[in-house]
Each structure stands twice: as structure tokens, then as C-alpha cells.
Amino acid sequence: MYNWRVLNCLKLWAQSIWTYSETDLKLLVSPFTELSFGILKLQSMNTRYLPFHLKVIEILNELSAHTGTYIPSCTFCIEILGMPELQKPAKGNDDKLFEYELAVKMPKSQQRSIEGLHLVMIHAINLIVGFCAAHAGSVYLPELAVPIIRSLGKVKKMIFVSEIVT
């Protein structure tokens, strides 16, 4: 289920929906969102499939920004940052760098390495920023930002990757 075919189909549908959002395709935003949330919840989050999860969240953020529809994708980013695997101290450095853009699965050598976890955390934080930027012109931004800031404060206390916390 977590492969490029599914990811490209989601991206194609999202681009179709936001390109033709003036037509009846805008009615597909809610079913598409539910389908994407189902895919994200299909398997419990583990570090192996975090790149796939982050790419789906990125698609949801783009759909939300283009259609002007609120999609609560930020909760998945905060859930990723609060994962128990990220609360354990990371292992040492790995010589081989992980190519986030080219993979939907994280290699086993990178799942507990400092670089791999650092990369995942940076992408999750960037998606949170993108989520807030998509709703920056909205009246309800303060109501969205306060829970996010509180959740990030709690997550910051739990994370052991020192490069991110400081």
C-alpha cells in the first residue's frame, strides 16, 4: 500500500481537484481527505514509512492551500514529532545520506541514525509551517496556531535529538 503508485495517484487526484476547483470537482475535497487520512492511519506510524506519510501530508497541505479548504493535516505532523522512536536517543552517524525526495521507505540504516531522524523532523516542521502559511490570511489562524504551539512545546521536551531541540 505504501508505494509510489499510490502516492502518484493521490498527487494526480489532488492536482485535478485543485485545478478544476471551480467545477463540481471541489466536492471531492472531503472524500479525498478522508481517503488520505485512512491511508495515513492504515498502518501505525513507524519510522520505516515516515517519508510516505510526510509526502501524503504535503499533498494535503497543497490541496488545502489551493482550494481554500481547511484540512487538519497538522495533527499528523505533530503525531510524527511525538513518536516514541524519536524520544529515544539516536544512534551515531551513518556515512550514507538518505535521499528523502527519492524514497517512500526509510532504509533500516537510517531509521535510528541522527541524520535520518533529523531529516524527518525538519520535513515535519516544514509541513507545519506550510500548514500555517496556507491559513495565514484566515480569521481563525490564532485558533489554529495556539494548539500547534502548545503541542510543539510538549514535543520539544520529549525529543532527544540535540540539533533540533536547541
Tens-place pLDDT, residues 24-50: 888 999 999 999 999 998 876 778 888
Cα 117 from Cα 91, distance rounded (Å): 10
Among the listed residues 153, 118, 146, 122, the one whose alpha carbon sits nearest the alpha carbon of residue 132: 146
Residue 95: its pLDDT value, please?
59
Among the listed residues 138, 140, 164, the one whose alpha carbon sits nearest the alpha carbon of residue 152: 164
Cα 128 from Cα 133, distance rounded (Å): 9
Record the cell numbers describing residue 104, joined without a space.
517512500
Note the pTM of the prediction, 2 decimals: 0.86
Residue-range definition of the domain harbouring residue 20: 4-165
Q: Looking at the predicted structure, is the pLDDT value of residue 89 above 70?
A: no
* CA pseudo-torsion sign 155, 158, 162, 166: positive
Cβ-contact 116, 95 below 8 angstroms:
no
Residue of 84 and 68 predicted with greater confidence: 68
Taking residues 137-157, report their average pLDDT: 85
Residue 165: its pLDDT value, please?
45
Cβ-contact 80, 74 below 8 angstroms:
no
Among the listed residues 61, 142, 159, the one whose alpha carbon sits nearest the alpha carbon of residue 53: 61
Mean pLDDT of the chain: 84
Residue 94: its pLDDT value, please?
57
Total structural domains within the chain = 1
Record the cell numbers describing residue 123, joined without a space.
520535513
